[in-house]
Amino acid sequence: MKPKLFLLHPDFTDLLMDNKGLKYYCPHCAFIEGVLAYYPKLRNEVDIEYVDFPRPRNKIIALLGEYNQSCPLLIIDAETADQFIRVEFKQHSVYLFSNETRVIASYFAKAFGIGIEHP
C-alpha cells in the first residue's frame, strides 16, 4: 500500500468560530503542502486525498475509526514500517498513522530521501 495522506481542502468555513462565513485554511495542512511544493516527487510516492473540514470524515473513519480524524493525516502499512517509524506513529488495526506535521515530514525524508527540517 502506498502511504496515504489526508489534507483538508482550503477555504473552509467554521460556524463554531464565526457566523460571518469567514474562510479558513488549516495551518498544519499548509505546512505539509509546503513540503509537497518543495519536493514535487512526493506527489507520485504518496496517495493524497483532500477531505472537507466538517466531521464526520467518513473516508478516514473507514480506515482509522471515529477518534482519529485530525488532519493532516498520514497512514502507512504497519507491516512495512521499521522500528523508528513504529515509535513515532500510532497504530490502529493494520495501519500506522500520524497527524503531527514534523513526524510526517520526517517520514517523508526517511522514506523518500528528501531534506530534513533545519533545526
Name 24's bridge partners.
12
Contact yes or no for 79/72 (Cβ under 8 A): no
Q: pTM for the complete prediction?
A: 0.96
Q: Are 59 and 51 in contact (CB under 8 A)?
A: yes
Residue 67 has pLDDT above 90, yes or no: yes
Provide the CB-side half-sphere exposure for 20 (13 A, CA).
5
Q: What is the pLDDT of residue 61?
A: 98
Whether 84 has a pLDDT exceeding 80, the answer reads no
d(CA 57, CA 70): 9
Q: What is the CA radius of gyration of the chain?
A: 15
Name the pLDDT band for 86 (thresholds 50, 70, 90).
confident
The position carrying cell 473513519 is 61
Strand partners, 51: 8
Residue 54: per-residue pLDDT: 97
Per-residue pLDDT of 68-83, as tens digits, reads: 999 999 999 999 888 8
| Distinct helix (H) and strand (E) counts, the chain | 5, 5
What is the share, in percent, of the chain residues with pLDDT greater than 90?
Answer: 92
User: Which amino acid is present at 63?
Assistant: L
Helix (H, G, I), strand (E, B) or coil at 119: coil
Give the C-alpha separation, 70 to 8, whole Å: 9
